[in-house]
Amino acid sequence: MAVNNNMIYTRVCVDCGKVMHNVGRRAERCPECRAVHIRVKALEASYRERTEQLIRQQEERAEAIHQGLVDDNERFTASAGTYGKGRIKEILAAQKKKQPAGVGAPAGCKG
């Protein structure tokens, strides 16, 4: 039985143009260029992962801030329902006290 030897091809490196003898049919780069290519791809992948993680963190922070503002607004409107009416009555009473006695509605408001 013959031993199957796949290392029978001669290829040219796509990066540096070096001729590689007795390599497999899928070989594209020489060993030196292959190591550089793998290192560059790993750096790109780690950069992409870091930027995606930072974007996710920024979106989570923005959502938390937005949710906090919504919660504060809901609390304010809920408490303003009773507090606001009482405060309006106090303001109107204070305005009536400031008007001189005997002065009612303005003269031009005869309906």
> Tens digits of per-residue pLDDT, 7-47?
789 999 999 999 999 998 899 999 999 999 999 999 999 99
Residue 23 · residue 6 · CB < 8 Å: no
Three-class DSSP category at 78: helix
Handedness of CA 91, 96, 98, 99 (dihedral sign): positive
pLDDT tens per residue across span 48-100 = 999 999 999 999 888 888 887 777 767 666 665 555 566 677 777 777 777 66
What is the model's pTM?
A: 0.50
